[in-house]
Amino acid sequence: MDAKAEVGRELSEKIDETSSVSPLGAVVPPERRRIVLSPINKRRWENFKSNRRGYWSFWLFLVLFFVSLFAEFIANDKPFMIRHDGRLYFPAVVTYSETDFGGEFETAADYRGGYMQKLIAEKGGSIWWTPVRFSYDTINLDLPTPAPSAPTWSLTEAQCMAVVKKKGLKSCSDLEYNWFGTDDVGRDVVARLIYGFRISVLFGLTLTIVSSIIGIFAGAVQGYFGGWTDLLFQRVIEIWTSVPSLYLLLIISSVLVPGFFVLLGILLLFSWVSLVGLVRAEFLRGRNFEYIQAARALGVSNAVIMFRHLLPNAMVATLTFLPFILSSSIMTLTALDFLGFGLPPGSPSLGELLSQGKSNIQAPWLSLAGFFSVAIMLSLLIFVGEAVRDAFDPRKAFR
Amino acid sequence: MAEETLLTVEDLSIAFSQGGRETLAVDRISFDIKKRETVALVGESGSGKSTTALSVMKLLPYPSASHPSGKILFKGKELLGMSENEIRHVRGNDITIIFQEPMTSLNPLHTIERQIAEILDLHQGITGTAAQARILDLLSQVGIPDPAGRLKSYPHQLSGGQRQRVMIAMALANEPDLLIADEPTTALDVTVQAQILRLLKEIQTRHGMAMLYITHDLGIVRKIADRVCVMSKGKIVEQGPVEQIYTAPAHPYTRALLAAEPKGIAPPLNDAAPVVIKTDNLKVWFPVRRGLMRKVVGHIKAVDGVSVEVREGETLGVVGESGSGKTTLGLAIMRLIASDGPIVFMGKTVQGLQFKEMRPFRRNMQMVFQDPYGSLSPRMSVADIISEGLGVHHPKMTAAERDRRVLVALNDVGLDPATRFRYPHEFSGGQRQRIAIARAVVLEPDFVVLDEPTSALDMLIQAQIVDLLRDIQKRRKLTYLFISHDLKVVSALASRLVVMRNGKVVETGPAAEVFKNPQSEYTRALFAAAFSLEAVPGAVVAQ
């Protein structure tokens, strides 16, 4: 071990000597220094990229997330754009009433209804629909089979017949497609998946970020001050973590009306502890570094030392953990939804889809869609997490 | 003296590949070692001497290390081409190695007996009572007092010197033909270093081993080696018998190395100058608590009743072995750890002030730390590091003025101001120490505590830093408290001397007098070990 360490030291000094430019070397322009990645970060990024699986998972996840942020323009029961009477309307963003299009009532326009379509067609207007013509809560009233209805492409002409006739179409392929079928109230599964993915990731991200901030802060205070502060906090956390959190979550969510933020708050009660130990250990180690002593000798205040000198050290461990915390947050929300204690009924959630799949075994498209979307999302996050972990590993061999 | 050649290194190169880039660490070196001979490899850190030594044992991290050229012949056999199984037979049997750091080269979970027994069992198949007898014999050979009682000790129960002795005992267990010693005394105190050197020499003559001794310290080379190879940047620039190298060095690098002794005259004493800092019976006691109620059962007296007085413009040298409380004294004076007893700084008592109340004083008292690799935050640019103190003490200063001060400070320490946007890892050890000094002087303090600022640096750099410190002191009229175990450096800087041992002052007085005429037994032993590498018999110093 020692021999290796020695070689490593000699080697790094050797490299230092060759790579560091003499004091009279080229001037680094000051205005660029904030943007340029430090060499160590550059190496980490290269290392992250060299993990092909993690790198592609990262981009794939980013693309999926970015696309799902614009779910209203992909899956919606309101058209993306309408040209009517020489004017442009954007129903996906703005709510118009029927009267705007020459209708009779002040109510919001129902674009899926034949009445509105007729109004627009009469004025020679045109409608640009989003790729999927259902929103997460749109109930398809023209189902060929009783809900849950199978994916449209798997239906036989005989099954479609009634609807095809009613709408005056020719065959099954002219119907509005429910690519993954519908759930047991006749809502489109694809639309629910897109919205469900978005809400899961947003929820997971918010929970991760907020609990990381609390966790880092608590860990930092404990590690930096040590002594009694540390001792008391640690005991409190030990008691806190030994509370069976899932039961408590069930109890609380049956008392409070669960919504996005109520759930966030409840889960936050327990998730903030996950980073505390890690950050505390980093700070405990870091506070004895000589440059911390040096900063104290300069008279720098505790808060500044913690923020400027110690936090960057703790960030490596934190960032490594982040993707895993994100996936576990998503998992918790899905689990609660599955049990029926999560988001309010009607909201698009992957857990609810799974539980529908469980109660409708005869409709395998429900459970399959739910399973694959959860599995793919979590796998992507785990792959990214692995790549991040390897990228930050200083002992990883480079080739 | 036509002894046969034991080890021949011919045209050896060692390259490391990292991130697709090849770095040549050792460049076509050749040397040989004869039986019973001691060859020293001398050079700065990063010159490739340790790498060379490890390659003889094939201990480099292959495959990221490779040998573009050369061969290593041991008793006529090629080592580099050997398989892992064959080389394992050579390692420990014919060639053994002692590492620099005795704290980490022993397994902390095993007793001394078990660690030595393992080697005996592995290579010679000796077990049971025969093994125990052999272990006792080895331990007494390396001069461990009460070897029978030490058998069941764990490494942490031994001092650094004793651990190094155990390492030597382990290396001797199989009576090797060649002992590689990789800076075995660098981590030890001077007094212990002298003892270990004497032990190595004794053992070598007794067993008739050859030795490859790696060091950066030319004093040690003169004491122990027969022949010297001077390495610089991966090449052997000069080799020859010790006397020849010392009396007629041919290569400019060797000459520079020989001339790199810290030189110069310390600032004169001036008893009329005002007192900058004064402590009276200063104590730093760490309580030892035991039992359920955490009752204080005793104290570790790190600093035990030390009174010092430093006058303006002079340098007070604090010397002593590790564990003598020098650094603790420095930290206590800087008010970075709790202490007992009055500390008067420029006429004002600073003892007992809160951290916030101390802040105005910190502008005038600064500290430079030992390890230039650890004392600079790796994530801040040099400009940010140096100007951090300005932000604390002159919050209203404009960015332009702050930048100007940083430039002046960098100029003062001899660094190009254009480098101020770089990060610490882009600088060498000596340059980093210059940055640390710049951080201290940018506040224009009156008093600077220097905690072993040169001990992590190479000889050449040490001399430069000593010159720089004296230069800045003269220019800025600074007062220094200089803590060091390196007496050569202290003699070049200190005008007054305090010798510490076990937290107490052993001897104090004007530096010139103490050096010329040390009063206490301990000081004499310390000087003998430091200046002529002689171990003093008896129990005056630690083992």
What band does A395 get if pLDDT is binned at 50, 70 and 90?
Answer: low
What band does A32 get if pLDDT is binned at 50, 70 and 90?
Answer: very low
Query: Chain B, 1-20: which have a CB under 8 Å from a chain A CB?
Result: 16-20
Distances (CA, A) of A181 to A130, A149, A334: 18, 6, 21
Q: Does B330 touch chain A (CB under 8 A)?
A: no
Contacts of A1 (CB under 8 A, 6+ apart): B104
Contact A11 B362 (CB under 8 A): no
Q: Which residues pair with B232 in a beta bridge?
A: B235
Residues of A in contact with B51 (CB under 8 A): 7, 10-11
**Number of residues written out for chain B:** 543
Contact A2 B100 (CB under 8 A): yes
- Give the whole-angstrom CA distance, residue A205 versus residue A199: 10
With 0-12 / 13-18 / 19 or more C-beta atoms within 10 angstroms meaning exposed / middle / buried, residue A234 is: middle
Q: How far is CA A34 from the centre of its chain?
A: 29
- Give the whole-angstrom CA distance, residue B351 versus residue A101: 83
Query: Chain A, 15-74: which have a CB under 8 Å from a chain B CB?
Result: 15-21, 23-28, 30, 33, 38-40, 43, 46
Residue whose entry in the numeric block shows the structure tokens 């095993």:
B110
Residues of B in contact with A38 (CB under 8 A): 379, 423
Calculate helix-pair angle for A245-255, A311-339, nearest 10 degrees: 60
What band does A332 get if pLDDT is binned at 50, 70 and 90?
Answer: confident
Read off the tokens for B94.
């014919």
Q: Which of B474, B469, B464 is nearest to B429 (CA)?
A: B464
- For the stretch A37-55, pLDDT in tens is 666 777 788 888 888 999 9
Cβ(B61)–Cβ(A7) under 8 Å?
A: yes
Calculate helix-pair angle for A227-241, A276-286, nearest 10 degrees: 160
- For the stretch A272-281, pLDDT in tens is 888 898 899 9
By Cβ distance, the residue of A26, A291, A298 closest to B362 is A298
Query: Chain B, 466-525: which have a CB under 8 Å from a chain A CB?
Result: none
In the predicted structure, residue A396 carries a pLDDT above the cut 70: no
Read off the tokens for B394.
């002159």
Contacts of A291 (CB under 8 A, 6+ apart): A309, B374, B375, B376, B377
- Give the whole-angstrom CA distance, residue B206 versus residue B195: 16
Q: Pairing relation of β-strands B479-484 and B315-319?
A: parallel
What band does A374 get if pLDDT is binned at 50, 70 and 90?
Answer: very high
- Give the whole-angstrom CA distance, residue B219 versus residue B223: 6
The string of DSSP letters for B206-217 reads HHT-EEEEEES-
Q: Which of A319, A318, A329 is nearest to A351 (CA)?
A: A329
Query: Chain A, 294-313: which have a CB under 8 Å from a chain B CB?
Result: 294-302, 308-309, 312
What pLDDT shows up at residue A106?
A: 80
Distances (CA, A) of A272 to A57, A211, A230, A240, A373: 26, 4, 16, 11, 27
E strand spans, chain A: 81-84, 87-89, 126-128
Q: How far is CA A377 from the centre of its chain?
A: 9
Chain B nearest-CA distance from A35, in A, is 13
φ, ψ dihedrals at B123, nearest 5°: -100, -30
Chain B nearest-CA distance from A271, in A, is 29
Task: Count CA atoms within 13 Å of residue A319 on its CB side.
Answer: 16
- For the stretch B246-263, pLDDT in tens is 888 889 988 888 887 777
Instruction: Give every strand in the sheet of B38-42, ordered side by side.
Output: B95-98, B178-182, B210-215, B38-42, B227-232, B235-241
Chain B nearest-CA distance from A232, in A, is 16
What pLDDT shows up at residue B142?
A: 84
The secondary structure element, H or E, covering residue A381 is helix A364-391
Chain A nearest-CA distance from B94, in A, is 18
A interface test, pick of B67, B419, B483 with most A CB neighbours within 10 Å: B419
Chain A nearest-CA distance from B364, in A, is 10
Determine the residue type at B178: L
Residue whose entry in the numeric block shows the structure tokens 């003889």:
B56
Contact B377 A309 (CB under 8 A): yes
Chain B nearest-CA distance from A10, in A, is 5
Residues of A in contact with B430 (CB under 8 A): none
**Range B187-204 average pLDDT:** 84
Cβ(B207)–Cβ(B220) under 8 Å?
A: no
- For the stretch B32-48, pLDDT in tens is 899 889 999 988 877 88
A interface test, pick of B96, B355, B421 with most A CB neighbours within 10 Å: B421
Contact A299 B393 (CB under 8 A): yes
- Give the whole-angstrom CA distance, residue B514 versus residue B499: 9
In the predicted structure, residue A4 carries a pLDDT above the cut 70: no
Distances (CA, A) of B106 to B9, B102, B109, B170, B189: 29, 7, 9, 10, 19
